[in-house]
Structure 1
Amino acid sequence: MTQLPAWSYQGTVPFTGDLSVLEAVLHSGRVAAAERGYTAEPQRIETEEAMLSRPDGNPESDLLTAAQAAAAGVEFSPTLLRYRMEWAPEPDGTER
């Protein structure tokens, strides 16, 4: 039997107050995990308000959290919600 490693699914959605967008991407994460062989629910789901560090920034790498903005002396104005789902390692159920 082989072991599936710890795995995570993450990204950002617009911070609009409409949680249906977040629900949709969390569902997509569960589907992606199932396609990889994970049978358990995510071990952890975290969300955090964020904003781009510059107007033309990349949502994958140029994000500031409230704490980071305060430390940089920047007014925090969240425009994105960052999410991360984590799955624990588990047996994949196949004999090798």
Structure 2
Amino acid sequence: MTEQTTHSGPHYRTLDDIRLRKAQLLTDITKDSNRIAGLWNELMHKPKDKNSPTQRFSGVLSTGAGVLDGLILSWKLYRMFGGKHPTGLLNKRFGFFKKKKNK
């Protein structure tokens, strides 16, 4: 019986053919690596905002107002649900800082 082998890969005749193919593969690998690195950076790193100074200031102001609102809310909830009763100069002068008494 005769065996027939079909080898569809490239046939190299000399060492120069192998070196040439090796250089070609190295170039392709480098291109693919650079492309993957670029896609990875686009995926993982947030692009820098190109906002105007007015938009940045507005964002900072909005964030600051949100933080202040959260602090005030947390202070009110802390006082409402049994926190320390304030004693001090503000409590004596202004009645709205006092805790309401239930009659």
Q: TM-score range by the shorter chain?
A: under 0.3
**With CA pairs under 8 Å and 6+ residues apart, which has the higher RCO, 1 or 2?**
1
Higher-strand-fraction structure: 1
Higher-helix-fraction structure: 2
* Larger-Rg structure: 2
**TM-score, L = length of structure 2:** 0.22
**TM-score, L = length of structure 1:** 0.23
